[in-house]
Amino acid sequence: MLYVFHGSDVNKSLEKARSLANSLRTKKPDATYVEVIADNWSPSIIDENVGGQGLFSSKYIIFLNRVTENADAKDGLPDLIQIMNESTNAFILLEGKLNADLKKAVDKFAEKVVSTDEAVKSFGSRFSNNGEFNIFALADAVSSRNDLKSWTLYREAVDGGLEAENIIGVLFWKIKTMISTQKFGGTWSEIELNRFLTDLIKVYHDGHRGMVDSELAIERMMLSLKN
């Protein structure tokens, strides 16, 4: 799968791209991490790393760090976007402003695109007409223990301007409701739900104390939902 971070605020895009890369590496410490820059770009890097296992049991995490500063990459990368997205490994593409051909390919094929040129980006039905994210869609994804969907929705919420503290509050309510009604959906045990709740509370308090980055801590929880 391919995740693209781009825009005029390169530092902000880099921060978000690194956050995803670090989260994936934490999730799968046995995965091979490869970072590619313009100076060591070769199309063979993509060809050699598109195979493998599923995203969250992947062998490779490939970070493409502004490779279009290489003229060959700038010309050839648009043709590789689809196969990267169809790969069962994780590809993360960081760029500044996308040229027309690359933007067209990214918009058509990439699993997730985050632009720092847009303060609030529309993500379809998960956002209301006034641009507010439907946080309950995220709560439902967490309750079904779907890590990829939960992470995707979480990133959409954060990138759309929702604070981590508000997200914690809704997830807390959802998990408490599941425990009190004894409705675990066949995917959680009561012990696991209580542990998740404890972790949420810890992130909330540690975030307020400045001991952890709440946004990153919750992101890691989303990526760790599956057993």
pLDDT above 70 as % of the chain: 88
Query: Please, which residues have CB within 8 angstroms of residue 70's CB and are 6 or more apart in sequence?
Result: 38, 39, 41
With a cut of 60, say whether residue 120 has pLDDT above it. no
- Please give the distance of CA 132 from its chain centroid, rounded to a whole number: 19
> 124-223: which CATH topology?
Zinc Finger, Delta Prime; domain 3 (1.20.272)
Mean of pLDDT values over 32-54: 81
Q: Determine the average pLDDT of the residues in 84-90.
A: 89
Confidence at residue 181, expressed as pLDDT on a 0 to 100 scale:
85
Banded model confidence at residue 121, pLDDT cuts 50, 70, 90: very low
Residue scoring higher pLDDT (11 or 38) = 38
pLDDT the model gives residue 82: 94
Share of the chain above pLDDT 90, in %: 32
pTM: 0.58
What pLDDT, on a 0 to 100 scale, did the predictor assign at position 131?
47
Mean of pLDDT values over 23-52: 83
> Mapped to the 3 state alphabet, what secondary structure does the chain carry?
CEEEEECCCHHHHHHHHHHHHHHHHHHCCCCEEEEEEHHHCCHHHHHHHCCCCCHHHCCEEEEEECHHHCHHHHHHHHHHHHHHHHCCCEEEEECCCCCHHHHHHHHHHCCEEEECCCCCCCCHHHECCCCCECHHHHHHHHHCCCHHHHHHHHHHHHHCCCCHHHHHHHHHHHHHHHHHHCCCCCCCCHHHHHHHHHHHHHHHHHHHCCCCCHHHHHHHHHHCCCC
Architecture in CATH for domain 2-115: 3-Layer(aba) Sandwich (3.40)
pLDDT at 52: 55
Domain boundary assignment for the chain: 2-115, 124-223
Residues 6+ apart with CB under 8 A from 86: 50
Instruction: Count CB-CB contacts under 10 A for residue 148.
Output: 17
What average pLDDT does range 106-132 have in this prediction? 62
Look at residue 105 in the predicted model and tell me its pLDDT. 94
Average pLDDT over residues 35-43: 90
Which amino acid is located at 184 in the chain?
F
The per-residue pLDDT for range 143-189, each reduced to its tens digit, is 998 888 898 888 888 877 788 888 998 999 999 988 888 877 678 98
